[in-house]
Structure 1
Amino acid sequence: MFSKRSIRTSFLIQLIFSSVTLIIIFSSLLYFYIEKSIYDDKKAELIQYAKNISAYKSVFQADESIPENFFSLNVGIIYLKNPDTQMDVYEKTDHKHTYLTLVYPFNLDDKSYLKITKDITQTKRLLKKILRYIFIINIAGVLLVIIYAIALSKMLVAPIQTLTKKLANMNEHLIKEIDTQRLPAEFEPLGETLNHLISRIQNFVKYQKELFIGTAHELKTPLAVIKLKNQVTLIKKRTPEEYIEAIKTTNKTVDEMNIIVSNILNIGRQEGAQLDKPVEVDVIAFLKQKANDFKLLAENEGKVLQMHFEPDGFMATLQLSLLNQIIQNFLQNALKFTPKEKSVTLRSSQDDVGLLIEVIDEGCGIDDTIDLFAPFKRQGNKSGVGLGLFLAKSAADALGARISIKNREDGIDGTIASLQLNSKLSCIIPRNR
């Protein structure tokens, strides 16, 4: 029922221990209060008798009937040679009877004192009975606390058990998100985190299948071209120039295959980079460095790279290689599809979520109906394997960031590629004054 390191076991032990301690303390205080109250009443009663006798009055009022407890009194006068107290009360037990004795000054001139003794055996029996009842009530209370603690702990771990059963029944072919509306409010963040993880798993499985299928298709086509070209070449005897041309075509096709294989290897390297230890990075300083690197490349191609960064600094804890892969892919695509004498803009800004990084180009735009983050999806008439955005999306998911590409809405052809970094693992560097 409970494991060695069970949270439920720890909760039960702590709840039972604290409840039992509270019951014992409360019961002890209650018993001592009752005992003190009864003894105070008995002492006050004996003092009242002593005062009446000292004042030469009747022990009880004349208009009252003789109380029954009056017959349990024993009144006498004693003389003390060296009295050291004005009044004294003490208790004594003799032959299974308990007596409460009061020594009260009667005549200080001859050092005489009243000694009033009262049999309080019945009172002691009553206190013992009360103590016994409190002990029985405590046992019943402890049992109820144990039952309540077991029921409460079972109720508290029920949502965890429900989540565990749902996750245990899932596999890569049957993955469903958890309905967080049916979870207690305290478990909603856990449910949302699991749903985010499930969504990542779904995308991973989907893209991995597309990657395998796309890889087979992409490699199958050039292999078929090589085979067909060789078959045509071998049909009849040809000149050396024709053989050289056939070999060049084959080599070109092999180079294209090598590019595909290299990109697939990059996917494996990226998955390894996701396990790298995150480091603290000033994202703004990193963006400035990348902008300077690509600025020369843009000028060499007859294009302009503009930059605008806000705030002055933004610290984040992340894998720098993954961030580099995303920004590099954005800038490479933007420069690839932007015509000469046009501009590409790299900018950053702070928003309610964290840091928003955008790369804006003046290219041909995109087809909104195509999932550009799927493997081997190409856009435009430029050469490429179609794995760059797939790698960028995987890197963003590993960073816990959001990535998107959309067409510009300012009347100019082109796209906006954006990366949204969450501020939970980051902070803003204050501006120097």
Structure 2
Amino acid sequence: MLSKGHIIRGISLSFIAALAVCSFCLYLFLYFAAYGAIEARLTDFAKEFNVKNTESQIQNSIVKQNSTFTIQILDFETSKPYFKKQDHCYSLLMPLSQKTLKITQNITQELEFLHKIAQAILLFDCVLGLCFLVILTQFTKLIQQTTQSLSMQLLKIQPQDIRALDENAIPNLFKPLVSGFNHTLKRMQDYFSQEKQLYAGIAHELKTPLAVIKTKCEVVLLKKREKDVYIKALEENIQSVNTMQGIIKTLLSLGRLESELLKGTETIDVNAYLKGIASDFTLISQKENKIFYHKIPDTPLMITINPALLAQIVRNFLQNAFKFTEKGKEIVLESVLENEILKICVIDTGCGISSIDDLCMPFKRVGHKGGAGLGLFLAKQAANALGGDIILENRKDTRGAIAIFSLRIKDLKKE
């Protein structure tokens, strides 16, 4: 694990290296720009000299000098112009009537300017490096203190006492991080709260039929009774056992849901998948003498999703619809895609929903129908895992209920 000193040293060396490279590039730019300007002046003066002087006026080895340039006619011939640097002088040599024209400029001022520029860059680098080191040290210290503060608060958190982190003790720079932690802690708190409520509900739901079985057995055994009384008591006990088996079966579904959450996704044609589910319930509708049909587009709709979780939601919607819809009444399964939001709706003609509040909580039942009251709870868990939402509402004509699963489609594929 890297220590504070290693972190500061590593970042400092990286910054110094980057600063040195940038400074060197800047100096090279100024260097070539200065010499480029000198060469341009020499070239312009050479052109002007050729225009003003004719061949008859050019003498061998003459030397002319003004305030800026020294002009020499050398008694040898060169094939092409070139520049030459010697000490504090920079010269241009170029062909001139079988001789060589040499124009020289003293560049002492330019060299001194470049030298001062190099000193200024070096001084600037030192000051900037020192300031950066001070700021980095303080910032690293701030991060270390903040990390220690967060660690201490997180270590105090227990499953039975999940509290939000104190944002007032954290610098503003790290408050978005703390907000993210608090959001996660809130979800954990909700999860543990639901888990406690679920366990309490399981204990209550199993306790009642067991108490009924025990009481009936005790009453029947108080005295010798007729054979029919024993048979009736056993039949009632079997019904209580069946109730407990239904609860246990639903709890096993909860375990399967937890395992499905760990599985990956796959790309499926959701419309074809929904039609497959609809075909199963078509057989059930025929057996129960209920009208069931679907409105699912024939156009393939390819999405990346966990199909088992999707089936958990849709099947629960349909099971509830069939449970509360009387014989001869209709149930509809619809699938609609609007603005990249997939909506899967199940519409029934049952008794409707008297109270929608907390309907997805465990062991929450509607009416006097049987069941453990965990179906919508499992569907809600699956919807959350898929990143979607469940909406339950009564029909506007008050002739039944509507269950909607909505999901914003990612990586949408149409064929």
Contact 2:63 2:73 in 1 (8 A): no
Secondary structure of the structure 2 residue equivalent to 1:235: coil
Contact 2:260 2:309 in 1 (8 A): yes
Count of residue pairs the alignment pairs up: 402
Distance 2:318 2:362 in 1: 19
Q: Rg: which structure is higher? A: 1
Contact 2:352 2:394 in 1 (8 A): yes
Distance 1:103 1:395 in 2: 85
Give the direction of change, closer, same or farther, for the CA distance of 1:13–1:382 in structure 2 (3 Å limit): farther
Contact 1:347 1:359 in 2 (8 A): yes
1:88 to partner: Cα distance: 7.5
Of 418, 426, 429 in structure 1, the residue corresponding to residue 412 of structure 2 is 426
Question: Is 1:346 aligned to 2:333, yes or no?
Answer: yes
2:318 maps to a residue whose letter is L
Question: Is 1:84 aligned to 2:103, yes or no?
Answer: no
Distance 1:219 1:320 in 2: 32
Question: Is 1:256 aligned to 2:250, yes or no?
Answer: no
Matching residue of 1:275? 262
Q: Which moved more, 1:10-19 or 1:208-217?
A: 10-19
1:335 to partner: Cα distance: 1.0
Matching residue of 1:63? none
Contact 2:318 2:346 in 1 (8 A): yes
What is the TM-score normalised by the length of structure 2?
0.76
Matching residue of 2:403? 417
Q: Which moved more, 1:165-174 or 1:416-425?
A: 165-174
Secondary structure of the structure 2 residue equivalent to 1:355: strand
Task: For 1:99-118, list aligned pairs within 5 A.
Answer: none
Question: Is 1:215 aligned to 2:202, yes or no?
Answer: yes
Of 284, 289, 293 in structure 2, the residue corresponding to residue 302 of structure 1 is 289
Distance 1:348 1:163 in 2: 50
Q: Identify unmatched segments of 5+ residues in structure 1.
A: 61-66
Give the direction of change, closer, same or farther, for the CA distance of 1:232–1:17 in structure 2 (3 Å limit): same
Secondary structure of the structure 2 residue equivalent to 1:349: strand
Contact 2:16 2:129 in 1 (8 A): no
Distance 1:391 1:253 in 2: 24
Question: Is 1:313 aligned to 2:307, yes or no?
Answer: no
Contact 1:178 1:195 in 2 (8 A): no
Instruction: State the Cα deviation string for residues 260-302 of structure 1 (Å, max 9, x = none).
Output: 1121111011100111121111111111122222112112212
Task: For 1:274-293, list aligned pairs within 5 A.
Answer: 274-293=261-280
- Over the aligned positions, Cα root-mean-square deviation in angstroms equals 5.0
Contact 1:311 1:350 in 2 (8 A): no
Distance 1:368 1:165 in 2: 43
Give the direction of change, closer, same or farther, for the CA distance of 1:90–1:317 in structure 2 (3 Å limit): closer
Q: Which moved more, 1:282-291 or 1:229-238?
A: 229-238
1:28 to partner: Cα distance: 1.3
Secondary structure of the structure 1 residue equivalent to 2:410: helix
Matching residue of 1:64? none
Distance 2:186 2:298 in 1: 32
Distance 1:235 1:363 in 2: 45
1:416 maps to a residue whose letter is I
Contact 2:162 2:185 in 1 (8 A): no
Contact 2:93 2:103 in 1 (8 A): yes
Task: For 1:153-172, list aligned pairs within 5 A.
Answer: 168=154, 172=159
Matching residue of 1:21? 21
1:420 maps to a residue whose letter is S
2:29 maps to a residue whose letter is L
Distance 2:194 2:388 in 1: 18
Distance 2:147 2:21 in 1: 31
Matching residue of 2:129? 143
1:31 to partner: Cα distance: 2.4
Q: Which moved more, 1:241-250 or 1:335-344?
A: 241-250
What is the TM-score normalised by the length of structure 1?
0.73
Distance 1:381 1:354 in 2: 35
Distance 1:8 1:358 in 2: 58
1:312 to partner: Cα distance: 2.3
1:38 to partner: Cα distance: 5.2
Distance 1:9 1:305 in 2: 72
1:34 maps to a residue whose letter is A
Question: Is 1:366 aligned to 2:360, yes or no?
Answer: no
1:256 to partner: Cα distance: 1.5
Instruction: State the Cα deviation string for residues 209-258 of structure 1 (Å, max 9, x = none).
Output: 21111001111111211221222223223344433333333232222212
Contact 1:2 1:8 in 2 (8 A): no
Contact 1:304 1:342 in 2 (8 A): yes
Give the direction of change, closer, same or farther, for the CA distance of 1:20–1:114 in structure 2 (3 Å limit): closer
1:48 to partner: Cα distance: 9.2
1:396 maps to a residue whose letter is A
1:30 to partner: Cα distance: 0.7
Contact 2:12 2:133 in 1 (8 A): no
1:389 to partner: Cα distance: 1.0
Instruction: State the Cα deviation string for residues 70-99 of structure 1 (Å, max 9, x = none).
Output: 9xx8x9987x4x533698764445xxxx56
Contact 1:346 1:359 in 2 (8 A): yes
Secondary structure of the structure 2 residue equivalent to 1:424: coil
Distance 2:411 2:81 in 1: 75
Matching residue of 1:34? 34
Distance 1:117 1:274 in 2: 83
Instruction: State the Cα deviation string for residues 134-187 of structure 1 (Å, max 9, x = none).
Output: 452453376278459949997xx99x97997799476654355999xxx99xx9
